[in-house]
Structure 1
């Protein structure tokens, strides 16, 4: 199955690189696409548990879904994730 998650704090290629790298570590997740302009992360998954794991991982990285609270901690985490993604490119 395929789904998309609209996220907050997605700003650049560094963010996209971190998201792609970390989400690809989740079992049964494939074909990850990050659309910076639309703040959207799309991926294939096998069951709902895997899709929820992606949403949780995005939140932990500082990219909560549009349904979640975007507090100062999330913004700080996204800043670090973005910088990490830029360095590892």
Structure 2
């Protein structure tokens, strides 16, 4: 069994694609272009629009905000956004 620590302080800050207020903890990165990670998004943070290497799913566990791609939608706690 492997135990993962994903406190905000131990994560990696993301600034690419004009992102701000975003911290990631990569959890799994198999031998494919996909990965699984846990994000901390601070209030008024921006995860910049970026090219997707594979389908993407964003699961909101706390708070709310906006998601966008071909269309935009308001997201909230308990919501799942999928980008293909």
TM-score (norm 1): 0.32
Higher relative contact order (CA 8 A, sep 6+): 1
TM score, norm. by length of structure 2:
0.33
